[in-house]
Amino acid sequence: MEDTTIKLFKDHGVKPTANRLVVAKTLAASLFPMSLVELESKIQTIDRSNIFRALTLFKEHHLVHAIEDGSGGVRYEICRSHSHDVDEDEHAHFHCELCGKTYCLDYSPVPPIELPEGFAALSVNYLVKGICSECRSKSSNP
């Protein structure tokens, strides 16, 4: 995993420091996009401000996607594109309104959006809200 992470850093123009590697590896190992609070609780060796600085740098270099999760929070996931200029792997996400989990829908790319002349898109957030299959099976909700 370290070689892959260092290659991603190189592809995105990010210097691989020890803290940045820990943050990136934690995100890469997660099954779900993670919030700053979740990262902080998972990474006990790095304080919140250093985690946030790493995430901010990663976002500037398109190494992470920052996803507004539908509950007013932001979650982060590793961007698998190989460019520090654009996100080549933008995809939809699903936010469960019962358990609060946000799922990647990697197989659902964000559809192209035609913008008016002179507009420039900086990011895209395509989020579907509903109830995940696990929560549906626990309740009688539709």
Inter-axis angle of helices 48-60 and 18-29, to 10 degrees? 80
pTM for this structure? 0.73
Q: What is the pLDDT of residues 71-128, one digit of tens each?
A: 778 889 887 655 445 555 677 888 888 888 888 887 777 788 899 999 988 777 788 8
Q: How confident is the model at residue 56 (pLDDT cuts 50, 70, 90)?
A: very high
The amino acid that residue 51 corresponds to is I
Contacting residues for 22 by C-beta, under 8 A, at least 6 apart: 43, 45, 46
